[in-house]
A and B are shown apart, each in its own frame.
Chain A
Amino acid sequence: MALTLVSSNKCFDGFQKVFEHDSTELKCKMRFGIYLPPKAEGGKCPVLYWLSGLTCTEQNFITKAGSQQEAAEHGIIIVSPDTSPRGCNIEGEDESWDFGTGAGFYVNATEDQWKVNYRMYSYITEELPHLINSNFPADSERMSISGHSMGGHGALICALKNPGKYKSVSAFAPICNPMQCPWGQKAFSGYLGSDKSKWESYDATVLVSAYSGPQLDILIDQGRDDQFLAAGQLLPDNFIAACTEKKIPVVFRLQQVCILILSLVFV
């Protein structure tokens, strides 16, 4: 499908671009940001998919994270998609900031109202990689995924549900156990209905307990003073406990100061 360049900025000798396209999964126009490092001009580069959190668009990461410098240094393409379909005119999509627009929760919705457009899981795991691999010098063998908060949740479940697809997964203050926290419960009940068995397939903590596949290397950074942590929205301990149980290597860093450090491990 056709990509429309929305913007292009030279950044650390590479290019920070934004494209728009018609998404087949989401049945709407979608934008995504892509940082192409200088190395991309000479060859294929590994790709990091960054999933933003609640209320974000494709812009937040581009403007706030300051990741371009590291990306340029290490020769990594960073793709930052939007967090939900937009302009679908679904009733109630803008009612709350933590559900609907900007809060796709990276699931494929099953409830009637949302199931046509809100298929963020497939978009992220299928459509978007195809698009990127076809249009950009991306090394399809080397993909990683990361995210913040809701995006962290998204990253974790994408990795856990697709063993071997991603080389590494890391998350900043992810929602680790959505079934147990208000955000998750609200979102899942809205998108997936009340059958909690359906929720399990989108809950990282549950998924990891049943995980079997190639070794994962999970890195989680969490701000110690994150209010949402205190509010019980994130629940990393549950996840860690499950990983420990399952002997899934996780390094969980509880950061005193919330500094976004991009540490990428490619194997």
Chain B
Amino acid sequence: MSDEDVEAIPPSSFPVMLDETTKEYLFSTDEGTLSKASAETQVPTAHLDIGPEGLSFYNMDLYESQERLDIFTEELPSSRTEDEQFEAMEESNESRPRMEEEEYDLYTAEVSEMTRQYGIWDDKEDMEMGFQTQEPFVMVTQKQEPAVQNFKTWGEEPVKGEPKDRGAGEKRGSIHKTPAVDEGGSMETHQPCYPSEEDEPQSHEQHVGVRQYSEEAFEEEEWKEEVSQPMKASRGDTHIGESTGRWRDVFCMECRIAIRAFDKVFGTHKDHQVTKLSIAAEDTKVEIHKTMCKLEEQIAQMENFASHLEEIFITVEVAVPTVERTEEYTASDPDLKLSASLEFENDAIDFSDVRQMMDSINIVPAPSAPVINPQTPNSATSTSVRVCWSLFSDDTVEYYELYYNPVLEGTTAEENEEQDASMVKVKETYCTVLNLVPNTQYEFWVTALNTTGISPASERAVYMTVPSPPVIKKKVCRSCLSAALIRWESGNTNPVDTYTVELCEISRERSETAVTESIVGIPTYESIIQLLSGQSYLIYVRAVNIGGPSERSDSVIIYTTGTLFHLNEETAHSSLAISEDGFTFMFYGDEYTELNDITFSDNAFSRCVAIMGELIPIRGKHYWELEVEEQTEYRIGVAYEDTQRNGYLGANNTSWCMRHVTTPSRHKYEFLHNGSTPDIRITMHPKRIGVSLDYETGKLAFFNTELSQHIYTYKCHFLHYVHPCFALEKPGALTVHNGIEAPEYITFS
């Protein structure tokens, strides 16, 4: 490397040059001088000035003027201002390519170690050594082992690009600023100094390249740590190895090794300046002594500095939010002129970087994405779900942010993402999210946060609230001695998966009613449940989806003491009026039928003024009673579900009925099926008629209940289930009584 090369370095192109020149400064190609690896790492990139070996150097002259520097640098440019000083300090953490002098003897090795340790160097030394480098000193954070150091060449480059007109070695001791780093805005180009995984183990979050006072303090410490690193091993002891056997009595100032005179003439050291070895040694000793003195002073300064740093740290910490806002504001309007003092402006402390630096002090990485758990069964209610997730093992997390969105039907995944998600801040790894809509799916994802930053979002998990409870349609439930048919409404706007029916036997012995039976997996809105006769039951229904079962519906009470059915108003002839309780119906006569009551429903009787009940479709015995007046003309009996609606009860083969009409002379009773009837005379006119239906024996019997008198029995094996039917032949009323226990005498019909 020639002097020309060194001097020719234009300041403006410093960073680039830095790369090249530092490489050029690998003077010796001998082994052990500069390992290739360390050479390459000298200047990472412009933005991140991590030095080759991770050593961070702090210029101890943090508060003093340039004069301080002059101790070390005799030819400092006088134009250096205090501001620059500060800037310099800010950048002190930036890594710089370090000039590495590989070659030196053992004695100097130790000295170099110490000086390096304390950041002390002697410009004189440089000069004496004839070290011509003007390479800027690169402050590196300690990342890797500094390859070899001893006399580093500290170049100094004013941040503002002041001309670098120093002689060889003058830069040493001064603070180098990374040329790539501009004031203010350019700081943003610095990457956060998170150590990447590729960094050496010892190095960590030493942020390099950011001007921060606080960091310096920390890095200082680490820098000390670094000292212990076995750098020495790589020191150029091997230089000696290159001896050719002859005594070396010449000291090459450029390479800083002892060489043979012979080598001076021939070989790599041809153009280097040399001096006598003994002289060189003496000079070195003096230098070392001086260095040690300075070292002591430096220590005192350091302590001073550290305490100052703390103050600044606290100040900065407090000011960060303010500056953040300012920064945002500034960012939005770049032309904004701050009214702050010039000094402040000049300082232009970039607090985002400060914060980053501070955060990085914790040496805590941002967390990895948490793992969100699938929904646990029975952990949800109709308005809440309990979401759980887990931490990624080694992470430190301050809190979590749980996001959620309802999953809307008919929207795509992208549309879902565009919705504004709700968010909950949670410290634990679980959260019960409230105020949700029943029977709805929600997408949940969670991010973890610590002081360093925010993790990527976890996978999205879908949780579902349980449905609202169904509503039992009590009016249309039917029952008999051995079973009940329960019908309900979903109670939810969207479909649910299944329904569960729960039974409680009501017993006088036990005051509390415990669920005695559950029927699950019901896919439709009704269910036939087998029951014991002569009991009372409370029946509930729940709706079930993947989130679990809903709360119980309101209950319906079922008595299995008799057959209970309701009248199907859909089948009623338009002239029939039905009472509130649904069990009495009246025929006022055709002339009283209001026009708007005439419904041309397919299911209604159109000619016979009739109505059909809905009997539970269970084979077995059923019994009900009817109440009439003596003069009521009626047809009462049963019919198949699909009996002709335009026919008359008993006139076809799908219905059976007892008919009563009155003539002026007498009462006439008929038992009609398929249009024919036996001739039956009854002397007592029943006012309460018991009807007994027995599928097993194929019998339909009629009784005068007041007399316990059997009137008539049809014998017919019903092909299908039948329903009770009632009709009025002339204006009158008829009341149905059911749920009654059948009297004994009907067994003998």
Contact = CB atoms under 8 A, between A and B. Distances in A.
Chain A interface residue number, banded: 20 to 34
A128 to B, nearest CB: 25
A217 B682 CA distance: 11
Contact of B709 (A224, A251, A253): A251
Contacts of B748: 264-266
A263 B710 CA distance: 10
B680 A265 contact: no
B745 A250 contact: no
B254 to A, nearest CB: 135
B683 A267 contact: no
Contact of A250 (B666, B683, B708): B683
Contacts of B712: 251, 253
B681 A265 contact: no
Contact of A265 (B678, B682, B684, B710): B710
Contacts of A250: 681-684
Nearest to A256: B678
Interface in B656-686: 666, 678-684
A232 to B, nearest CB: 18
B300 interface: no
A266 B748 CA distance: 8
Contact of B679 (A224, A244, A249): A224
Interface string A97-127: 0000000000000000000000000000000
Contact of B681 (A247, A252, A264, A266): A252
A217 B683 contact: no
Given A249-B707, A251-B711, A243 B678 contact: no
A254 B683 CA distance: 14
A254 B709 contact: no
B571 interface: no
A217 B680 contact: no
A181 interface: no
A263 B745 CA distance: 13
Interface string A6-28: 00000000000000000000000
B657 to A, nearest CB: 17
Interface string A170-198: 00000000000000000000000000000
Contacts of B568: none
A201 interface: no
Contact of A252 (B680, B704, B707, B710): B680
Contacts of B679: 224, 253-256
Contact of A255 (B678, B681, B709, B745): B678
A244 B683 contact: yes
B678 A253 contact: yes
A132 interface: no
Nearest to A222: B679
A68 B466 CA distance: 67
A215 interface: yes
Interface string A153-176: 000000000000000000000000
Interface string B347-359: 0000000000000
Given A264-B748, A266-B748, A251 B707 contact: no
Nearest to A240: B681
A263 B708 CA distance: 15
Contact of A240 (B683, B707, B711, B745): B683
Given A240-B683, A244-B683, A217 B707 contact: yes
A264 B748 CA distance: 8
Nearest to A243: B683
Nearest to A266: B748
Contacts of B682: 249-252
A248 interface: yes
Interface string A216-235: 01000000100000000000
Contacts of A255: 678-679
A29 B678 CA distance: 43
Nearest to A236: B681
A249 to B, nearest CB: 4
Given A251-B712, A253-B712, 4 more contacts: A252-B680, A253-B679, A255-B679, A263-B710
Interface of A: 215, 217, 224, 240, 243-244, 247-256, 263-267
The 10 tightest CB contacts between A and B, nearest first, are A254-B679, A252-B681, A244-B683, A243-B683, A250-B683, A249-B684, A249-B707, A249-B709, A240-B681, A253-B680
24 contacts: A240-B681, A243-B683, A244-B683, A244-B684, A248-B683, A248-B684, A249-B683, A249-B707, A249-B709, A250-B681, A251-B683, A251-B711, A252-B680, A253-B679, A253-B680, A254-B681, A255-B678, A255-B679, A256-B678, A263-B710, A264-B748, A265-B710, A265-B745, A265-B748
